[in-house]
Structure 1
Amino acid sequence: MSELFEQRRREPLLQEVYYEQSVNFKEKNLADPEIDAMLTDLSIDNARRKRTSWRRAYKSLELLIQRYSGGAPLADLEAYAARAFAQFQRHYAAFSDAKLKLWEPDAYQYVMWLLSLAVLLGLKEWVPTIATWISTDPEDGQDVLVSRLFGRLGVSLPGESLIHDKPYADLLRATETHGEAQQQAMANYLKRWYGGMKDCYWFDLHKERTDAGFFGYWSFEAGLVTLLWGIDDGSYREMRFYPKDLADFGREQAMAPQGEVQKPHISRRTGERCPYAGRWGVLESPGAFVQERMFRKGDVFPEGIGRDRQEGPVTWIVMGREDGGPTREA
């Protein structure tokens, strides 16, 4: 393991060689033209397309978390988050019957990840859309904690009882108390969080075979509640699984002056040469990258692809540089 990666990584269990292998595999999958074609080929069995579509969506979320675990700059994670949300949006537009059912531990955690990362990375505009991916059928589960979190952000969802008492009872308690009791509830939640995730597919993933795609263990929802309820995290910010720097970043985003203009991403038009090796994408709508490719320094940027409704000259925006440099203009 290189000294740079060891210093940069946030997840202490992450090994550089396996991290690079997994990240590269996921990136190739997300830009695989054969999968693109399959997802739009109605002659292919619907169930197969749905499975493939869902895999691409949740793998894009895993990749976002993996980038965070590996030490990617927080400001650069916005593009990866927007891509993940766009993949979920694409999936649910194509398969509207495949909503997240809160009684399922994995689905519940997906909701926590999606909502928390949207808010902590300054992408609150996605919150109402994320809410539409959740089933509101009583048989699929209606949860008071999920309802309370979305309600804090101005989105109404039904829910009067807690579906998963372990470990979420402590987190729910943190939204109902104040002062030391609130801080203690958060500390208790972080203590019990990992053990309470044993029914999730990724539990103990770091112990599996080396190519299992371990992407890191983080209670992003602990950072979300800390931010939304204005809790002093001094007593638990050093605890395992708490994304302290992301919580700080979210706080900075929330405190930024209204109307403050963020520096634009580094971008180039069709026909211009690539200034930095890395992953570049084309925007279909604000924050939603629909065309992604790896380019070497000096490559000429091509036109858009017609099937993505961006045929002809387009603007390519850097999503991640191989040299680890900034993705926004100085």
Structure 2
Amino acid sequence: MSFQAKRRQKFLSEENYRLALDEIPQGIELLRSGRAGSGDSLEEGWLISYRIIASDIFNLLVLKYTGGEALESLCDDLERVVEAYEASTRQLRDFHKEPNAIGFQIDSFDGYCPCLGLISLCYLLRRRDLLPRIAGLLDGPDNANVAADFLIEEFLSYAPMDRYESHILLATKPFESLADAMDAADNDDALRHLQKFLKRWYRDLAGAPWYDTHKPDAQGRTGGYYGYWSFEAAAAVLLLGIEDDSSLHPYLYYPKELVAWAKTQ
């Protein structure tokens, strides 16, 4: 099968895919061998390095999904993402001398999107066993940060652990429609909210660091695009038990293949 037939999103060229597959692991190893050059101290430099490593390992998983890799192979990759965020969170808590420091900056798209996406992938890739570990990164050992966001709590509540009620939605655009879907009276109503969510998803996330990375810069170069996916919409379909999600298939950012695979497991 050709790469064009295998890839799951049209923006990814084979050249950029192969290049990123080489460059991301090289960058990770470089950061592991020495702290980042930025930062006012040795400890802050390492904190920045660990944060970038976690983000890069997550990006590598997303890239492999976009490039058409087998879904079974991504299940172990997901655990490596969680391990990287655990290492980053330990460094964060040591640096600030705050054992309950939250492992994701969920008050901005930089942290909220990967946090909700990572939780969603645990359901989609059948790795619910990882969810208590992610919850620990958010809650802190003293549960100091619980109930910080409605959607995070709602998604975690489907895992085999006790969670907390929240009436706060940190990112209303575009996530208010997703919250409405999770709180809908029935699945037909939920689907209508999910369609609204996906229709505005990319446009309303214009502040995210990955936005428009598929477009060439002034020098005609591209880089930093790994895939645009609303894993949270897919997880909502799975968690709500929506059998017919065909009305969501036309949306470019909806990972329909992942949903279909998860339903068969």
Instruction: Write the distance in 1 (CA, Å) between the matches of 2:197 and 2:123.
Output: 20
Query: Which residue in 1 is equivalent to 2:175?
Result: 168
Alignment RMSD: 2.1
SS of residue in 1 equivalent to 2:75: helix
Instruction: Write the distance in 2 (CA, Å) between the matches of 1:179 and 1:213.
Output: 36
1:234 to 246, 255, 259: 246
Query: Which residue in 2 is equivalent to 1:219?
Result: 230
Instruction: Write the distance in 2 (CA, Å) between the matches of 1:120 and 1:243.
Output: 10
Instruction: Write the distance in 1 (CA, Å) between the matches of 2:16 and 2:162.
Output: 39
Contact 1:190 1:241 in 2 (8 A): yes
Q: How many residues align?
A: 244
SS of residue in 2 equivalent to 1:95: helix
Corresponding position: 1:21 with 2:29: no
What amino acid maps onto 1:142 in structure 2?
A
Instruction: Write the distance in 2 (CA, Å) between the matches of 1:89 and 1:215.
Output: 22
Query: Which residue in 1 is equivalent to 2:263?
Result: 251
What amino acid maps onto 2:133 in structure 1?
T
Report the alpha carbon displacement of residue 158 of structure 1 after superposing the two structures with TM: 5.4
Unaligned runs of 5+ in 2: 36-40, 94-100
Query: Which residue in 2 is equivalent to 1:150?
Result: 156
Contact 1:146 1:159 in 2 (8 A): no
1:129-150 per-position Cα deviation (integer Å, ceiling 9, x unaligned):
1112226767x98211111111
Instruction: Write the distance in 2 (CA, Å) between the matches of 1:164 and 1:92.
Output: 22
1:31-51 per-position Cα deviation (integer Å, ceiling 9, x unaligned):
x2x533436xxxx71111110
1:85-115 per-position Cα deviation (integer Å, ceiling 9, x unaligned):
2211222233324621321122110111110
Report the alpha carbon displacement of residue 155 of structure 1 after superposing the two structures with TM: 4.3
Listed as ranges, the matches of 1:181-330 within 5 Å are 181-209=189-217, 210-231=221-242, 232-253=244-265
Query: Which residue in 2 is equivalent to 1:280?
Result: none
1:190-242 per-position Cα deviation (integer Å, ceiling 9, x unaligned):
10111111111111111144342210100000110100111131221232100
Contact 2:62 2:226 in 1 (8 A): yes
Report the alpha carbon displacement of residue 174 of structure 1 after superposing the two structures with TM: 0.9
Deviates more, 1:224-233 or 1:157-166: 157-166
Name the CA shift for 1:137/1:101 in 2 (closer, same or farther; >3 Å).
farther
Deviates more, 1:78-87 or 1:95-104: 95-104
Contact 1:74 1:246 in 2 (8 A): yes
1:12-47 per-position Cα deviation (integer Å, ceiling 9, x unaligned):
1111111211121002223x2x533436xxxx7111
Instruction: Write the distance in 2 (CA, Å) between the matches of 1:37 and 1:26.
Output: 14
Higher helix share: 2
Corresponding position: 1:133 with 2:111: no
2:9 to 5, 8, 11: 11
1:141-177 per-position Cα deviation (integer Å, ceiling 9, x unaligned):
8211111111122341452121211111111111122
What amino acid maps onto 1:240 in structure 2?
L
2:122 to 115, 118, 124: 118
Name the CA shift for 1:98/1:52 in 2 (closer, same or farther; >3 Å).
farther
SS of residue in 1 equivalent to 2:259: helix
Higher strand share: 1
| % identical aligned pairs | 25
Give the alignment's TM-score, normalised by structure 1: 0.69
Contact 1:150 1:157 in 2 (8 A): no
Report the alpha carbon displacement of residue 64 of structure 1 after superposing the two structures with TM: 0.3
Contact 1:142 1:159 in 2 (8 A): yes
Instruction: Write the distance in 2 (CA, Å) between the matches of 1:65 and 1:234.
Output: 23
In our comparison, the structure showing a higher alpha carbon Rg is 1
